Amino acid sequence: MISAALALLAGLQLLLAEAARRTGPACRPTALLGCALAYDSAVVAAGVLLGEGAPLEALSAGRFVVHALGTPLVLPCAALALRAGRGALAAAWAAAGALAVLGAATTLPGLHLRPRTWADTLRYADAEPGAFPVAAVLAIVALLVIGVAAWIRRAAPWIALGAMAVFAASAAAFAAPPLGNLGEGLMLAGLVATLRGGRVPEPAATRL
């Protein structure tokens, strides 16, 4: 039941990624983020079918890479969704790069995976969780600040609501891990809703 729900969630995340891609070439980072989140959901959904072993362990290691390097993408994705100026967009990319390096350095070294089950799902998790995921938390806090500012100044609530959903789902995920995937899906939906609410202009080179 939960595995099937996660497979459905992965499909919905891919549809959101495609919706972002169709918005314009400048929205490809949001499409990439959607594909990364869909990968995460799909691996957990497929765990019970693959069973314990090297293939699932390797795919699960990819989930940790996706979270370390992909989560900071929410910052340029939010900047693009809000059609920020060049300076703000450059700052968002710089912050995302710094957080990706920090995330990789604090979560990937020493990763030691062991199988874990919850309901009808099977996944590999870190047997000895390392440092607090400060990079991911900072990225989502920054997303929330950006979202709240957009809500107040532009009456655009979706980014803020998505960030709030991630925080709530992450807290609940300690008891029910798949809720973390649901929260990420809602965050992605908020970014795409904001994108689709105001199409991002294509770069000049793409309009020739």
Predicted confidence pLDDT, tens digits, the chain (208 residues): 899 999 999 999 999 999 999 988 778 999 999 999 999 999 999 999 999 999 999 999 999 999 899 999 999 999 999 998 999 999 999 999 999 999 999 888 888 899 999 999 999 988 776 567 888 999 999 999 999 999 999 889 999 999 999 999 988 988 899 999 999 999 999 999 998 885 444 443 333 3
Q: In whole angstroms, what is the distance from residue 39 CA to residue 49 CA?
A: 16
pLDDT value at position 71?
Answer: 93
Strand bridging mode 113-118 / 121-126: antiparallel
Note the pLDDT of residue 198. 53
User: Of the candidates 111, 41, 30, which has an alpha carbon nearest to the alpha carbon of residue 70?
Assistant: 30
- Nearest CA to 44 out of 181, 189, 186, 185 is that of 181
Q: How far apart are alpha carbons 64 and 11 in whole angstroms? A: 20
What pLDDT score was predicted for residue 46? Answer: 95
pLDDT at position 25 is: 77
Task: Please give the model's pTM, rounded to 2 decimal places.
Answer: 0.89
